Amino acid sequence: MLKPLLDYPLQEINQWRFNSHPMQQPVVIAGAPRSGTSWLFEMLMRMIPRSLGLWEPLRMSKYPRMRELTYTMRPYLPPDNNNTDYIKFFADLLSGRNARIDTIYRGYPLHLLNYFLPRPRLLIKFVRANRILPWLLERFSPGMVFLIIRHPCAVVASQLNHPSWNPQKILNDQRYPIVNREFLDRLPQVEPLLKKRLTPEEKMAVTWGFDYYIPLFHLKHPRVKVIPYERLVTHGAAELDGIARRLNVDPPQQPDQLLKKPSRASSPARLDRDPSTLNHWKHHLSPDQIKRVLEVTHRFGLDFYTDQPEPDYDKMGLQ
């Protein structure tokens, strides 16, 4: 009950604060749920001076305005869309003007002091932004977009082992799979899947497919960097160095310590960042489940992931 009371003065202050003293260009961290977005976000929070974090601002529970703009958890906008309500919402979001109490990242309280410094830099992490990235880049100019991608079997296995994705719930949830109907004409090989009763892992795989098909096949932009989760695990120091160059900040002095620190969203029972665990999903999914997940994602043309723990980086377009 206190949040609305606190949000109103906060947003009034934000309107004054960021209209009078604009931020640096924001940084967007996007990816599927359970793909490593939290891990990457928290590392960047430590790497980027004067950083402020926004956490999942497209959740309808956090921004009731989203309920008026869209009915889906994964909105899609074509790049030429001129919807003024969306433009206003994201203009305020990317500038920090409509930050709310429960979207301001409070994992590192000292970072809140950056709010009072001139020209802070906003980092926005959202797992619901993949499908609007082409529109976002067309309409606005974020400093960088980092799109993290992880093996679909690893994502599905992690979701099935997370309390937010109960297999029985997913099986009966009419929202899954989350489909973009606009793209089915371009994906005739996917549409037959939607006419049969899908298993939970197939539903999640279809959602993963649309989450990455849209940005990977419809977004080529110098301000977008695709980061394979697996490469961040196996060659993390080099990846962080490349990220630092893109952001024009100093690379971390102790990258191994930064990489080994678990995110607040990771399971405390596992060391997810050890290269030996990249095939951990094979212990959580049966061979039939793995086969079904890969058959689905390959229908999207995303066949650089196979039954191997790492993707084919050349096929992915990453040398």
Query: Mean pLDDT lowest for which of 21-30, 83-92, 172-181?
Result: 21-30
Tens of pLDDT, residues 260-295 = 877 766 654 444 567 878 999 999 999 999 999 999
Average pLDDT over residues 13-20: 57
Residue whose C-alpha is closest to residue 215's, from 20, 76, 89: 76
Residue type present at position 128: R
CA-to-CA separations, 35 to 27, 57, 130, 283, in angstroms, rounded = 18, 18, 12, 18
Q: What is the pLDDT of residues 108-125, one digit of tens each?
A: 666 667 666 667 788 999
As a whole number, mean pLDDT of residues 215-242 equals 91
Residue 307 has pLDDT above 70, yes or no: yes
Residue 82 CB contacts under 8 Å (≥ 6 apart), including other chains: none
- Mean pLDDT of the chain, nearest integer: 85
Residue 9, pLDDT > 60, answer no
Q: With 0-12 CB in 10 A as exposed, 13-18 as middle and 19+ as buried, what is 220? A: exposed
In a 13 Å sphere around the CA of 127, the CA atoms on its Cβ side amount to 16
pLDDT surpasses 70 at 180: yes
DSSP type of residue 122: E
| Backbone torsions φ then ψ of 27, nearest 5 degrees | -115, 130
Structure tokens at 247: 């952001």
Q: What is the DSSP letter of 235?
A: S
| Chain CA centroid to CA 122, Å | 15
Which DSSP string do the residues of 160-228 spell out, in sequence order?
HTSTTS-HHHHHH-TT-S---GGGTTT-TTTGGGGGS---HHHHHHHHHHHHHHHHHHS---TTEEEEE
Instruction: List phi, psi (to 5°) of 54.
Output: -115, 135
Which run of H or E residues covers position 43?
helix 37-47
What band does 214 get if pLDDT is binned at 50, 70 and 90? very high
| All residues at 6 or more sequence positions from 148 whose CB lies less than 8 Å from its CB, including other chains | 29, 30, 31, 35, 36, 37, 40, 226, 227, 228, 229, 232
pTM over 0.85, yes/no:
yes
Q: Which fold has domain 2-308+310-314?
A: Rossmann fold (3.40.50)
Task: Please identify which residue in the block is written with the tokens 């309500």.
Answer: 85
The residue with tokens 């999903």 is: 281
pLDDT band at 10 (very low <50, low <70, confident <90, very high): low
Kindly state the tokens that stand for 51: 């950083």
Q: Which of 16-25, 29-38, 40-49, 275-284 has the lowest mean pLDDT?
A: 16-25
| 31-40, 54-63, 176-185: segment of lowest average pLDDT | 54-63
Would you tell me how many other CB atoms lie within 10 Å of the CB of residue 194?
A: 13
Per DSSP bridges, beta strands 121-126 and 224-228 are unpaired
Backbone angles phi, psi at 71, to 5 degrees: -100, -5
Count of positions (residues) in the chain: 319
Give Rg (Cα) of the chain.
Answer: 19
